[in-house]
Amino acid sequence: MEARVKLIWDFRGANAMPIAKHHAIHLTEYAEAQKLQNPLVGDEAVTPMHHIAYMIVEHAMMDKLREALKPHRGQLYED
Q: What is the pLDDT of residues 4-16, one digit of tens each?
A: 999 999 999 999 9
pLDDT of 20 over the 90 cut = yes
Nearest to 8 by CA among 68, 70, 71: 71
CATH of domain 4-77: 3.30.70
pLDDT of 74 over the 70 cut = yes
CA distances from 12 to 45, 46, 49, 79 (A): 10, 10, 5, 26
